[in-house]
Amino acid sequence: MAIATVNPFTNETVKCFTEDTAERIERAIATAETEFKNWSRTGYSERAGLLRKVAGIMRARKKELATLITTEMGKLIAESVGEIELSAAIVDYYADNGERFLADQPVETQRGEAVIRHSPIGVVLGVEPWNFPFYQVVRFASPNLMIGNVVLVKHASIVPQCAIAIEDIFRDAGAPPGLYTNLLIPGRAVAALLDDHRIRAASLTGSEEAGASLAAAAGKNLKKSVLELGGNDAFIVLEDADIDKAVEWAYVGRMNNTGQCCVAAKRFIVVDAVADEFIGKFVARMSHLKVGDPLDAGTQLGPLSSEEAAVHLADQVRRAVADGAKVLLGGKRIDRKGAFLEATVLTGIKPGSPISYEEMFGPVAAVYRVADERAAITLANDSPYGLGGSVFTNDIERGKRVADQIDTGMVFINHPTWTAPELPFGGVKRSGYGRELSGLGVEEFANKKLIRVSGLNDPF
């Protein structure tokens, strides 16, 4: 796949980039390994100081960086600005809390003393996706740099300018060469990197296929990996929910980032008693969105990330209809230049049909009617994915009981699955393993080293 910026609003190529040569990759790894020896000896205050400078530069360049995001992958400009603000907040979060998260942990022992010390492990590789080109990177890089690791980043090939901009920010903040390195390489080159003994671990956010490939390469080389993969989040609406609020959150949960979010609400599971009301209001809310240039603040429905993505999603809708689904809204490509698809609402998808197990990555909502709470839980769990989910009810204790029965890494009550620096993020089943963000995210690639002090005459 070519490394190029193709504006999905016009499907025109904006800028092309040359892939890194084998020689440049070797220099990058060697420089990173050398820098690790220096960075691992710095104190937490120095590491935090660098991160705060990175966050400050992001905020100062917010408009410029947001425009890059929108140009490369089509995100509405207001959402791109929000992504930069969130990214800066995550960087600051680890600068502010990293030392506390990584403090020695005393271990109770019968004699002597013992502590768990969090030590860096070395060069860590991050393989990052296009849908949140800054947020995904900083939630990987920030905790690792606070630990004392250094990072190599292979970003998605459709957002090369965002990838380069992040490396520039670290350089301008004063990061030494090798601390943060962007690699312009195709996905097929990732597995070979893990054969290199100097790269100690890897994290990937992306597709199941990419995750399986990276996990296999990491496993073969006895290296730890963290994977955040696809999702098919259930959005359960119980009969005692506030329907108007549920509908508004359903719209936000489905249409954020034009639906191109791993934790977007995708399967709307509604109890029969309120299904007619919910469906009618939800279809109305999804209707009549202003289609246009994502750089225009008035646009409500922009393009998907690429023409390939739009073609794939339209084919999923076609297959769903062929298998008996009913289109309540949309369902077609929009007759204009660019990677556009109508906002779409489907119903009548049979549980167990092939399309019910697929992630639809875009502005397509699938609504399911169920008899009761028990049926809602059963259907929510009938998925190979287990990333996030939502439960809408006015009875919070009931919501907690339902949440406890949903087989996912995250469940939100009266809110679509969301993210914040302090909330651990990750899934189970085919949605991956490991956690990012919060205090859990800072521990994934740390050596939890036991240091034990005994008296010279202590027995075994």
Integer Cα distance of 189 and 24 in angstroms: 13
Q: Using an 8 Å Cβ cutoff, are 143 and 441 in contact?
A: yes
Let me know if 262 is a catalytic residue: yes
Let me know if 228 is a catalytic residue: yes
Integer Cα distance of 123 and 155 in angstroms: 16
Q: Which of 33, 83, 128, 228 is catalytic?
A: 228
Q: Which of 33, 79, 83, 262 is catalytic?
A: 262
Residues annotated as catalytic are 228, 262
